[in-house]
Structure 1
């Protein structure tokens, strides 16, 4: 299972690299978003990250992780903005209308499992773990 997990993670990472460097996706809009993320206001950064993740969740693992990192920061304003954005994303467009499944709970030994299955399953595993961390973050902020 850990070998398949590592392989699936590498597939997803490569898919994300391919998406970032695809000529049709490396438009001026994408460079504008990158510029906002690196040098924009806090509000602009959160908005850009939100739009990028909403555009293609499977290609937005780094973006999701950036928003989670912002949510963990001690700076109240940044954390609140990130957590609010994550709530809107998760409830609105990123989470499926079913229970998320861990990678290890998938039928990994089945004959018909393809690389696409593995890639989607490892993304879902990451999403489930991130959602759990998000819930813990919310609970900790309520203390």
Structure 2
């Protein structure tokens, strides 16, 4: 419930100092991945045209922390922590990464960046459609 309150407070107030501080808490990321990550991916996966052999994988990176890897294929979706390796699909601060996992974006677009290319980024952002 605490995570929901913080997230919906952000929905109402936007990127103020209190929201950024709350979203930046490590437990927010952990709870999002461990407790609600899979249901979040179900909705996003439904919006993808995966085809019989299709697969989407994204790696969300925040410097100094483990990456979050999201995948979707015809069998379902997964979300997990992984050691940072290879290129990231999206790099951001921790608060922005939580927002992205919930299908939201911060008002300031400079808080995240990607070199994945438009199609790969579109597919990962669709998967992260959230609630």
* Superposition TM-score, scaled by structure 1 size: 0.26
Structure that is richer in helix per residue: 1
Structure that is richer in strand per residue: 2
* Superposition TM-score, scaled by structure 2 size: 0.28
Could you say which structure has the larger radius of gyration?
Answer: 1
